[in-house]
């Protein structure tokens, strides 16, 4: 009789940046790959909680659709097809083609994109592959699609791009302000902490959003600023604090530069101006101002409702400015909380998969940093900033980028203006995609490499609160799939490197030796449920609160950054008269590649829909279930209507999780001015009732 084994393995959830940890029990009659249960352990972020995705969202690992072998495109007059290949054949071809393209067009003709779903160690290796082996800084990751503007706003004002405190600190706050974040569905366990503090401990909650989601309904004050105008009311609040004697002048004189120049830039931002531009009643804005002035401690949470605009970085800056003006940094329960969407969107950037930064945010242009890496890696590193994701697509059209190596990202569905992105992929001379499923993007690839998801590998993730956590191998890789770090190493060696990492711990060890921010990060210090929050000193002292003795600026002082409001790039007009917003559903993760393959979860939300307000439904004689065509300047989508008072007036809302109804057929190519994050939230559409 076969022996039934049961195994318990600690892992970290991959469905959002909260970073819940739990034990996965596998085995029993179903065998080693059978998941018996997911049991929340002692995770620093979640304690004993999970949400529906973390608890039930894992059956995709055994999906029939998993890629099990490398695939190579075979071209023929009758039409291309993919055939299975050995690893040796696929990697040999990849090395030949990349070498040839580099010889003909130079290293900058090749672009690499790492993944916010991959581990820190994998992101480190991907950027090392780009810089040290290919010889280009054309390396980026999918934080370009979401949170780069938040990081930029914090770089400008306080120095580090991460959350300024820990998730558990939020409960100590007297006032939580949530701007452009559907926290209850996108970061559920973190939202539970806010709900508890609000309900049981009298914490005040103010929510600014276009849509009346769960947190909005719970809020003490909920208001709907016009799309793309958050910077105006945030700056008006700052001005009101100065004008009414509520700015924290002692804090400002001790810790903050640029006060006078900033105040001058606030001249236009009166409350009356904000009320007019944002279309929010003046009384509401004044009520908010009084609440902010009255509280001892405030933190602000924000997400893609802020960042995915042409002014995403500027609005993120305005948030940090307001926190500085009101003295809300340097104490638990205060500060900036940009909420990271992917599980490792923080780590992918932290570990240098960015065109202008090494791991730990040392600048490529910084001679000392570059020489440190050149010595460590034994190579010369290019000095010029590389291309970001957005620039890579444009560079393909311009004939400058000939080849791409993309891992862990269904870029066709994730990037804005999918038709444009797909057209770019078609123009590539050579394209390698590495993923766990045959995604929409794979259709354009020359080689598809089968990777292993988080349950099949070891490594670390860094959550939204800058927290390193270990994940352990729950089960062996399926079929011939391999962990990304092994594949990247093999690619590097086929291109002439001599890497010899036997475990991700070796990679972390190397990175900790090169990036001062991670100096004390070791696998011993991360064993089991142990965690560290960066920056981590050599002796292992970590940083639950980011700013205690100083800000991360050259002179230790923060900076108030002057403000200017620039209208959204695209607004509604006569033809495209409705504003389309988009975001997550509780049950699904991004484009749905993983969660749609979990039958229990998919059954909960089988159809995609567009939310329509009762007013608009009445005007157009629409009822729930009716079909409509949505059209933008960039594409078309046929959807079913859901009439709901979550949205109002001419606002529409579309979940971004559907492969059958990809919202990015409608979004355009405008981007945040500072970071090139697509302005997904600035999409005018027209609706035709069928
Ligand atoms: Fe996973 Fe986020 Fe849910 Fe936690 S809150 S279980 S990290 S999806």
Range with the poorest average pLDDT among 46-55, 338-347, 356-365, 608-617:
46-55
- Count CB-CB contacts under 10 A for residue 444: 22
Task: State the distance from the centre of ligand 1 to the C-alpha of 683, rounded, in angstroms.
Answer: 29
593, 19 Cβ separation under 8 angstroms: no
* Residue to substitute in 54, 185, 454 for testing ligand 1 pocket (most ligand atoms within 8 angstroms of CB): 54
| pLDDT tens by residue, 395-423 | 999 999 999 999 999 999 889 999 999 99
460 lines ligand 1 (CB under 6 A): no
This prediction's pTM: 0.96
What atom in ligand 1 is closest to the CA of residue 343? 7
What is the C-alpha separation between 523 and 518, in angstroms, rounded? 12
* Pocket perturbation via mutation, ligand 1, pick of 52, 53, 340, 343 by most ligand atoms within 8 A of CB: 53
The answer to whether the CB of 46 is under 6 A from ligand 1 is yes
For the CA of 18, the nearest atom of ligand 1 = 7
pLDDT at 587: 67
> 20 in ligand 1 pocket by Cβ < 6 Å?
yes
Q: How far is the CA of 529 from the centre of ligand 1 (A)?
A: 16
SS3 of 43, please?
strand
Angle separating helix axes 282-294 and 230-243, nearest 10 degrees: 60
Question: Average pLDDT in the 604-627 region?
Answer: 90
Distance 43 CA to ligand 1 centre (A): 11
Atom of ligand 1 nearest to the CA of 189: 5
pLDDT of 598 > 80? The answer is: no
pLDDT for 668 beyond 70 = yes
Asked if residue 13 has its Cβ within 6 Å of ligand 1, the reply is yes
Span from the CA of 147 to the centroid of ligand 1 (angstroms): 18
Lowest mean pLDDT among 51-65, 110-124, 168-182, 550-564: 51-65
Q: Residue 519: what pLDDT?
A: 98
Average model confidence (pLDDT) across the chain = 94
Q: Is 339 in the pocket of ligand 1 (CB under 6 A)?
A: no
Nearest ligand 1 atom to alpha carbon 16: 2
Per-residue confidence band for 184, with pLDDT thresholds at 50, 70 and 90: very high
Q: Give 316's Cβ-side CA count (13 Å radius).
A: 38
Q: Quick one: average pLDDT of 252-280?
A: 98
Inter-CA distances, 238 with 94, 226, 487, Å: 54, 19, 50
pLDDT at position 193 is 93
- Cβ 15 under 6 angstroms from ligand 1: yes
Domains and CATH numbers, the chain: 6-62 (2.20.25.90), 71-146+343-533 (3.40.50.740), 148-339 (3.40.228.10), 578-689 (2.40.40.20)
What mean pLDDT is predicted for residues 265-278? 98
In ligand 1, the atom with minimum distance to the C-alpha of 589 is: 8
Question: For residue 252, what pLDDT band results from cuts at 50, 70 and 90?
Answer: very high
Q: What is the mean pLDDT of residues 556-576?
A: 95
Please name the residue whose Cα sits nearest to atom 8 of ligand 1.
15
pLDDT tens per residue across span 188-223: 999 999 999 999 999 999 999 999 999 999 999 999
Q: What ipTM score was computed for the predicted complex, to two decimals?
A: 0.99
Distance 664 CA to ligand 1 centre (A): 25
In whole angstroms, give the CA distance from residue 663 to residue 635.
10
Residue 48: which pLDDT band, with cuts at 50, 70 and 90? confident
What pLDDT was estimated at residue 47? 82
Reported confidence tier of residue 605, pLDDT bands at 50, 70, 90: low
Residue the block writes with tokens 């001249």: 267
Q: Is 153 in the pocket of ligand 1 (CB under 6 A)?
A: no
Q: Quick one: pLDDT at residue 42?
A: 80
Burial of 378 (0-12, 13-18, 19+ CB in 10 A): exposed
Kindly state if the Cβ of 16 falls inside 6 Å of ligand 1. yes
- Ligand 1 touching residue 189 (CB < 6 A): yes
Q: Please give the number of the atom of ligand 1 that sits closest to the Cα of 46.
A: 4
Tell whether the model's pLDDT for residue 2 goes beyond 60: no
* pLDDT value of position 595: 67
| Cβ of 590 less than 6 Å from ligand 1 | no
Beta carbon of 252 within 6 Å of any ligand 1 atom: no
If you take atom 4 of ligand 1, which residue's CA is the nearest one?
Answer: 20
State the DSSP string of 572-594. --SSS-EEEEEE--TT--TTSTT
Is residue 293 predicted with pLDDT exceeding 90?
yes
Instruction: Classify residue 432 by burial, with Cβ atoms within 10 Å: 0-12, 13-18, 19+.
Output: buried
Q: Reduce the secondary structure of 591-646 to three states and give it as a string.
A: CCCCHHHCHHHHHHCCCCEEEECHHHHHHCCCCCCCEEEEECCCCEEEEEEEECCC
**3-state class of 98 per DSSP?**
helix
Q: Which atom of ligand 1 is nearest to the CA of 51?
A: 3
Q: What is the pLDDT of residue 606?
A: 61
pLDDT at 3: 61
Mean pLDDT computed over 471-496: 98
Between 37-46, 328-337, 505-514, 546-555, the lowest mean confidence (pLDDT) is in: 37-46
Q: What residues form DSSP beta bridges with 432?
A: 405, 447
- Cβ of 426: how many Cβ atoms within 10 Å? 9
Q: Which residue has the higher pLDDT, 569 or 596?
A: 569
Q: Measured at the alpha carbon of residue 187, what is the angle toward residues 196 and 417, in degrees to the nearest 5? A: 150
**Residue 467 CA to ligand 1 centre (angstroms):** 14
d(CA 87, CA 107) in angstroms, rounded, equals 24
- In this predicted structure, what is the pLDDT of residue 686? 97
Closest protein CA for atom 3 of ligand 1: 51
Strands of the sheet containing 175-179, edge to edge, are 221-223, 204-208, 175-179, 298-302, 335-338
- Flag whether pLDDT at 75 surpasses 70: yes
Please tell me the distance between residue 18's alpha carbon and the centre of ligand 1 in angstroms: 6
Ligand 1 neighbourhood includes 304 CB (under 6 angstroms): no
Ligand 1, from 11, 12, 16, 21: best to mutate by most atoms within 8 Å of Cβ? 16
Q: What is the average per-residue pLDDT within 480-507?
A: 98
Cα of 512 to ligand 1 centre, how many Å?
Answer: 28
Q: Rounded to the nearest whole angstrom, what is the distance from the C-alpha of residue 53 to the centroid of ligand 1?
A: 7
> What is the pLDDT, as a whole number, of residue 57?
87
Q: Name the residue of 11, 13, 23 whose CB sits within 8 Å of the most ligand 1 atoms, as the mutation to test its pocket.
A: 13
Q: Is 589 in the pocket of ligand 1 (CB under 6 A)?
A: no
Q: Yes or no: say if 403 and 429 are a contact pair by the CB < 8 Å rule.
A: yes
54: pLDDT strictly greater than 90: no
Distance of CA 287 to the CA centre of its chain: 32
CA atoms within 13 A on the CB side of 630: 28
CA distance 62 to 71: 19
User: Cβ(27) to ligand 1 under 6 A?
Assistant: no
**CA distance linking residue 116 with residue 121, whole number of Å:** 12
Residue 585 Cα to ligand 1 middle (Å): 13
Atom of ligand 1 minimally distant from the CA of 12 = 7
Q: Given the CA of residue 22, which atom of ligand 1 is nearest to it?
A: 6
**Is any atom of ligand 1 closer than 6 Å to the C-beta of 488?**
no
Q: Which DSSP string do the residues of 244-307 spell out, in sequence order?
A: TT-S-HHHHHHHEE-HHHHHHHTTT--HHHHHHHHT--HHHHHHHHHHHHH-S-EEEEE-HHHH
Q: What is the pLDDT of residues 324-360, one digit of tens each?
A: 999 999 999 999 999 998 889 999 999 999 999 999 9
CA distance 337 to 383: 32
Average pLDDT over residues 3-19: 90
Locate the ligand 1 atom nearest the alpha carbon of residue 45 and give its number: 4
The mean pLDDT value for 175-197 works out to 95
Q: Yes or no: say if 439 and 410 are a contact pair by the CB < 8 Å rule.
A: yes
Q: Over range 102-128, report the average pLDDT.
A: 97
Q: Is the pLDDT of residue 56 over 90?
A: no
**Contact 347 CB / ligand 1 (< 6 Å):** no
What is the reported pLDDT for 682?
A: 94
């Amino acid at each position: 009789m076969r022996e039934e084994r049961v195994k318990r393995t600690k892992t970290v959830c991959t469905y959002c940046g909260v970073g819940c940890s739990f034990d996965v029990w596998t085995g029993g009659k179903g065998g080693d790959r059978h998941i018996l249960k997911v049991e929340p352990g002692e995770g620093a972020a979640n304690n004993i909680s999970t949400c529906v995705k973390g608890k039930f969202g894992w059956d995709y690992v055994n999906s029939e659709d998993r890629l099990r072998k490398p695939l190579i495109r075979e071209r023929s007059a009758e039409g291309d097809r993919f055939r299975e290949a050995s690893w040796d054949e696929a990697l040999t071809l990849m090395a030949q083609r990349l070498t040839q393209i580099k010889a003909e067009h130079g290293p900058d003709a090749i672009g690499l994109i790492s993944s916010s779903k991959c581990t820190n160690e994998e992101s480190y290796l991907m950027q090392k592959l780009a810089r040290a082996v290919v010889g280009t800084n054309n390396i980026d990751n999918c934080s370009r699609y979401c949170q780069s503007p938040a990081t930029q706003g914090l770089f400008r004002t306080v120095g580090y791009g991460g959350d300024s405190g820990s998730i558990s600190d939020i409960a100590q706050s007297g006032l939580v302000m949530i701007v452009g974040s559907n926290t209850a569905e996108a970061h559920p366990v973190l939202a539970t902490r806010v709900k508890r503090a609000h309900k049981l401990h009298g914490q005040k909650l103010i929510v600014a959003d276009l849509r009346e989601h769960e947190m909005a309904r719970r809020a003490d004050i909920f208001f709907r600023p016009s799309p793309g105008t958050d910077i105006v009311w945030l700056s008006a609040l700052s001005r009101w604090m100065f004008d009414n004697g509520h700015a924290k002048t002692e804090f400002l004189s001790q810790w903050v530069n640029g006060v006078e120049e900033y105040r001058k830039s606030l001249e236009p931002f009166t409350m009356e101006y904000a009320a007019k531009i944002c279309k929010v009643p003046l009384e509401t804005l004044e009520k908010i101002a009084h609440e902010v002035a009255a509280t001892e401690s405030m933190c602000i949470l924000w997400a893609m409702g802020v960042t995915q605009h042409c002014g995403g970085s500027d609005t993120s800056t305005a948030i940090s400015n307001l926190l500085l003006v009101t003295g809300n940094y340097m104490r638990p329960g205060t500060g900036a909380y940009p909420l990271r969407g992917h599980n490792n969107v923080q780590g992918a950037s932290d570990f240098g998969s960015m065109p202008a930064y090494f791991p730990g945010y040392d600048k490529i242009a910084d001679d000392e940093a570059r020489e440190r890496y050149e010595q460590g890696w034994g190579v010369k590193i290019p000095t010029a900033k590389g291309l970001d994701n957005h620039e890579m697509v444009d560079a393909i059209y311009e004939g400058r980028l000939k080849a791409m190596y993309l891992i862990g990202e269904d870029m066709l569905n994730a990037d804005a203006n999918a038709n444009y992105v797909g057209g770019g992929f078609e123009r590539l001379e050579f394209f390698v995609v590495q993923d766990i499923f045959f995604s929409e993007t794979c259709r354009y690839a020359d080689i598809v490499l089968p990777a292993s998801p988080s349950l099949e590998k070891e490594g670390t993730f860094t959550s939204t609160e800058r927290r390193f956590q270990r994940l352990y191998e729950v089960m062996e890789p399926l079929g011939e799939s391999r962990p990304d770090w092994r594949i990247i190493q093999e690619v590097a060696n086929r291109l002439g490197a001599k890497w010899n990492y036997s475990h991700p711990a070796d990679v972390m060890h190397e990175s900790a030796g090169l990036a001062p921010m991670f100096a004390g990060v070791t696998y011993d210090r991360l064993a089991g449920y142990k965690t560290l929050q960066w920056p981590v000193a050599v002796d292992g002292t970590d940083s639950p609160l980011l700013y205690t003795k100083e800000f991360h600026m050259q002179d230790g002082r923060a900076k108030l950054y002057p403000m200017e409001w620039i209208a959204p790039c695209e607004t509604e007009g006569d033809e495209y008269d409705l504003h389309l917003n988009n975001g997550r559903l509780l049950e699904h993760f991004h484009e749905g590649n993983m969660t749609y393959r979990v039958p229990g979860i998919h059954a909960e939300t089988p159809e995609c829909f567009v939310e329509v307000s009762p007013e608009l439904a009445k005007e157009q004689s629409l009822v729930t279930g009716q079909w409509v065509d949505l059209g933008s300047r960039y594409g078309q989508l046929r959807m079913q209507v859901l009439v709901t008072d979550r949205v109002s007036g001419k606002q529409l809302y579309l979940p971004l999780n559907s492969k059958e109804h990809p919202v990015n057929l409608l979004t355009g190519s405008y981007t945040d001015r500072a970071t090139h994050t697509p302005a997904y939230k600035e999409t005018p559409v027209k609706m035709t009732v069928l």
